[in-house]
Chain A
Amino acid sequence: MAIAAVGAALALRLAAPETMPVHTDEAVNASILGGMLEGRTYRYDPVDRHGPTLYYATYPWVRSLGAHGLGDLEAWQLRAVPALFGAALVAALLLLETGVPPAALLAAALWLGLGAPLVFYGRTWIHETLFVLLSLSLVGTGWRYATTGSPWWAVGAGFSCGALLATKETAVLTIAAGIGALLATSGVRRAAGAAPRPRLKRDMALAAGALALTAALLYTSFGQNPRGLSDALRSLSLATARASGQGHEKPWSAYLSWLLVPGIRSRPWCGWTLAVFGFAGAWSAWRSRASRPLPFFLLAYTAALAALYSIIPYKTPWLELNVLAPAAVLAGIGLHRACAAFAAPLRRGAAAALVLFVGCALGSETWKLCFRYPADPGNPLAYSPTVPDILRLEARVEAITQGAGGRSPVVAVVGRDIWPLPWYLRHCASVGYWAELPMNLAPTIVVSSAGQAESTGRSLGPGWRAEIYGLRPEVLAIVFTRLAAASPRERDRP
């Protein structure tokens, strides 16, 4: 059953990977990876970038496919990586096996494998799915250490924590929530008379060593960029400043709204079912807190994460995965308890009906948000998505540059708000990016941000025509093409 759940989660994430245009964040990540493929040393940039794990995790895979630069990459290659992480997230539930009933973990796999937010971001080449996998891995290895006392689990927890820190700056929130939940659980356990572990100090030193080594290796680009370590520390203060919003500020209730308010494209079945069964699981965890520490830890951890992410003004929909993953385990416990509440003769049938209902509800939302409307402005998961019109722009540029014959056509991109154009123009041999159109340039085609289109048009002078294209909702680009290069009908236009 567990293998089937992991396989289904993987298939769902790998299916039709190019349904959604490449998001701006994916394009930015791809340009960093493209530099690494071209032989440039990766250097961690703490100002506006996340950590290096995603790039190092993707590099060997795309290199094995023969990629040597941005131009060799395809979206499906990149998106296969978070798809694997998303499937691994389902598999990571096995780490919790000794603390949560296996049937409850299987139920939790429904949400982790099939829930729309988890599938959506498991199909998007950004850091979040890897981050959530490492978070669950940290909880799972920590739990295994707590129950077995094996130092290897301590080292595993240290590795997970180090990789977590090297993935995103929000690791501090995960760690803070984890420590808070651990203290709450320890308090309950002490009250219940549980004894502390004897070699705790040694094992903590081992975990700390694994953590430091992992984070240091990744941030320093495996020793090639020692400054990466100080930059990693600097990133914490920068992230604190960024937490105020920087254009992404939302009210505290934004996550609740994204998860629970019906949209024009779909009913939020993932949020609704998680709320119902998650509360049932939370109630069960609270009631059995003295005898079952892991569900209680997960309850405290989920609550702490939900509070932290809600308080911080900076909010994007993918951050909700951090709360959804542990909440899915609570929902699994809730669903398991709900099934167990039925009288024995009805239990099997009722359980099958409940699981079928949850599965169908989650599946319908996932179908609509991940496959039918993945880049629609009405999709609550599609945050500032790249719009399908960009494919028209890409085709137009390709048609003109290929029609230029033996000449090497120059594509000039003008403006600051032009992402994700570097991804869509990656096949152009001569493409350059400028804040203003250079005077001495003789471009074949000019793509300008809408804000600078008028000045670009003035610089180009007569003999050009302009076409309008969408990049993202509200963000437009103007493509200038030479009338001489256009068809006779186009040249006749006023």
Chain B
Amino acid sequence: MITTSLPLMLRKRRTATLLAACVALGLLATARADDKVPLKLDLPKPMFVGTPVPVKLPNLEAPRAGRRPDFLVPKGVVNLALNKKVTSSDMEPVLGDLSLITDGEKAGDEGNYVELGKGKQWVQIDLAQASKLYAIVVWHFHSQARAYKAVVVQVSNDPNFADGVQTLYNSDDQNALGLGAGKDPTYIETYEGRIIDAQGISARYVRLYSSGNTTSEMNHYIEVEVYGLP
């Protein structure tokens, strides 16, 4: 007959409980991961055909064969930016108006984009309340092959972006904007837009910078979508 002392039995039970808890947590985590779904984007009509720059270089965007890999987001995310208020460093755009940035229209034709002045400019979207953000998708301009310079995307709960600023993307390798040198790649604009991982950060304001492009010194936005949980 095997006899076990009470403290030992208690220890074993505690261990078993811990193990069960770990398994349960693991299962829960798996279940939560399973809750993630591919981000579904309503893409506009392509405006130019083929890969404009078949380049595979260290600090430039590598070309992609086939369709873009799925970007996973939690179930239930929606475009929080739709029809939300947009402000800008250039409140009197050269072409179009700021409301075009969140109107849901992503076609690359004339009349669907806003053009901001030369050099460093930003646009800022007020999501009306702080929310957990998972993806920011930006279409600068996609009717011809061009790359926008010094693209920086930040989020914050401070409308002035003085406190609690988190940078999600920064291709400003020369620190032209003065926000710090970035290591993210420069990329050629296409109809697919650029998906930026928002990492589940909670924020109310989204600010996007650029400083001209390879065709002109102007800055353009067709649409910005911000996916998060309402």
Interface residues in chain A, defined as those with a beta carbon under 8 Å from any beta carbon in chain B: 264, 375-377, 387-389, 450-451, 453-454, 457, 465-470, 473-474, 476, 478, 489-490, 493-494
- With contacts A453-B53, A493-B173 known, is A466 near B183, CB below 8 A? no
Nearest Cβ distance between residue B45 and chain A, in whole angstroms?
18
CB-CB under 8 A from A469, the residues of chain B are 214
* B113–chain A nearest beta-carbon distance, Å: 10
Chain B residues with CB under 8 Å of A465's CB are 58-59
B60 x A466 contact (CB < 8 A): yes
Overall SS of chain B's interface: loop
Are A376 and B144 in contact, CB atoms less than 8 angstroms apart? no
Chain A neighbourhood of B56, CB < 8 A: 454, 457
Scoring B residues 56 to 67 as 1 if CB is less than 8 Å from chain A, else 0, what string do you get? 111110000000
Is B59's CB under 8 angstroms from A388's CB? no
B146 contacts A478, C-beta separation under 8 Å: no
Contact B146 A494 (CB under 8 A): no
- Which one of A388, A476, A490, A493 lies within 8 Å of B53 (CB-CB)? A476
Q: Are A466 and B53 in contact (CB under 8 A)?
A: no
Whether the pair B183, A470 counts as a contact (CB closer than 8 A) is no
Q: Can you list 24 A-B contacts (CB < 8 A)?
A: A377-B216, A388-B216, A388-B217, A389-B215, A450-B52, A450-B54, A453-B54, A454-B54, A457-B55, A466-B55, A466-B58, A466-B59, A467-B173, A470-B213, A473-B144, A473-B146, A474-B146, A476-B52, A476-B145, A476-B146, A478-B57, A493-B58, A494-B58, A494-B59
Q: Mark B40-55, 1 if CB is under 8 A from A, else 0.
A: 0000000010001111
Closest CB in chain B relative to A367 CB, distance in Å? 15
Contact A387 B58 (CB under 8 A): no
Closest to A389 in B: B214
CB of B216 within 8 A of CB of A457, answer: no
Starting from the known contacts A377-B216, A474-B52, 14 additional A-B residue pairs (CB-CB under 8 Å) come to: A375-B216, A376-B216, A388-B217, A389-B212, A450-B54, A454-B55, A467-B173, A468-B60, A470-B146, A470-B214, A473-B146, A478-B55, A494-B59, A494-B183
Within 8 A of A (CB), among B141-191: 144-147, 173, 181, 183, 186, 188
A387 touches B54 (CB 8 A): no
Whole-angstrom CA separation of A382 from B74 in the bound complex: 48
Q: Which of A387, A454, A493 contacts B183 (CB 8 A)?
A: A493
A457 touches B181 (CB 8 A): no
Report whether A450 and B110 are in contact in the complex, using a CB–CB cutoff of 8 Å.
no
List which B106-122 residues lie within 8 A (CB) of chain A.
110
Q: A387-B215, A489-B181 are in contact. Are A468 and B186 (CB under 8 A)?
A: yes
Q: How far is the CB of A351 from chain B (nearest CB, A)?
A: 36
B215 CB to nearest A CB, Å: 5
In the complex, which residues of chain A have a beta carbon less than 8 angstroms from the beta carbon of B110? 264
Pick from B57, B173, B216: contact of A454, CB below 8 A.
Answer: B57
CB neighbours (8 Å) of B215 from chain A are: 377, 387, 389, 470, 473
How far apart are the CA atoms of A469 and B188 in the complex, in Å? 11
Nearest CB to that of B175 among chain A residues?
A: A489
Q: CA separation between A376 and B218, bound complex, in Å?
A: 10
- Measured between C-beta atoms, what is the minimum distance from A275 to chain B in Å? 23
Residue pair A466, B147 in contact (C-beta under 8 Å): no
Give Cα A387 to B149, complex, Å.
Answer: 14
Least distance between B142 CB and chain A CB atoms (Å): 12
Q: Are A474 and B216 in contact (CB under 8 A)?
A: no
A468, B57: Cα distance in complex, Å: 11
Instruction: Report B173-230 residues with CB < 8 Å from chain A CB.
Output: 173, 181, 183, 186, 188, 212-217
Minimal beta-carbon separation of A485 from chain B (angstroms): 15
In the assembled complex, the Cα of A493 lies from the Cα of B171 at a distance in Å of 11
Residue numbers in A under 8 Å from B212 (CB-CB): 389
Q: What residues on A are CB-neighbors of B52 within 8 Å?
A: 450, 474, 476
> In the complex the two chains form, what is the Cα distance from A474 to B216 in whole Å?
11
Q: Which residues on the A side are within 8 Å of B188 (C-beta)?
A: 476
For B146, the closest partner residue in chain A by CB is: A470
> Contact at A493–B146, with CB atoms within 8 Å?
no
Complex interface: chain B residues within 8 A of A490 (CB)? 173
Tell me how far the C-beta of A114 lies from the nearest C-beta in chain B, rounded to whole angstroms.
Answer: 24
A494–B185 Cα distance when bound, in Å, is: 10
CB distance from B102 to the nearest CB of A (A): 22
The answer to the question of B29 belonging to the interface, with a C-beta cut-off of 8 Å to chain A, is: no
Tell me if B95 counts as interface (CB < 8 A to partner A).
yes
**Other-chain contact of A450, B48, B55, B186 (Cβ < 8 Å):** B55
A466:B57 contact, CB within 8 angstroms: yes
In the bound complex, how far is the Cα of B71 from the Cα of A19, in angstroms?
Answer: 44
Q: Judge whether B58 and A476 touch: CB under 8 Å.
A: no
**A470 shortest CB reach to chain B, Å:** 3
Among residues of B, the one whose C-beta sits closest to the C-beta of A480 is B57
**Residues on the A chain within 8 Å of B95, using CB:** 264
A457 to B60, CA, bound (A): 12
- A-side contacts of B48, CB under 8 Å: 474
Chain B residue with the shortest CB-CB distance to A490? B173
User: How far does the alpha carbon of A387 sit from the alpha carbon of B217 in the complex, in Å?
Assistant: 9
Report yes or no: A387 in contact with B216, Cβ–Cβ below 8 A: yes
| A474 and B57 in contact, given A377-B215, A377-B216, A450-B52 (Cβ under 8 angstroms) | no
Asked if B147 contacts A476 (CB within 8 A), the reply is yes
In chain B, residues 53-90, which have Cβ atoms closer than 8 Å to a Cβ of chain A?
53-60
Give CA–CA (A83, B16) in the complex, Å.
92
Residues of A within 8 A of B213 (CB): 389, 470
Task: Collect the chain A residues with CB atoms within 8 Å of residue B146's CB.
Answer: 470, 473-474, 476
Residues of A within 8 A of B145 (CB): 474, 476
Give the 8 A-B CB pairs with smallest separation, nearest first.
A470-B214, A466-B57, A450-B53, A453-B55, A389-B214, A387-B215, A474-B145, A474-B144
Contacts of A473 in B (CB 8 A): 144, 146, 215
**Residues on the A chain within 8 Å of B216, using CB:** 375-377, 387-389
A35 to chain B, nearest CB (A): 31
A493 / chain B contacts, CB cutoff of 8 Å: 58-59, 173, 183
Q: Which residues of B contact A494 (CB under 8 A)?
A: 58-59, 183
Q: Nearest CB to that of A469 among chain B residues?
A: B214
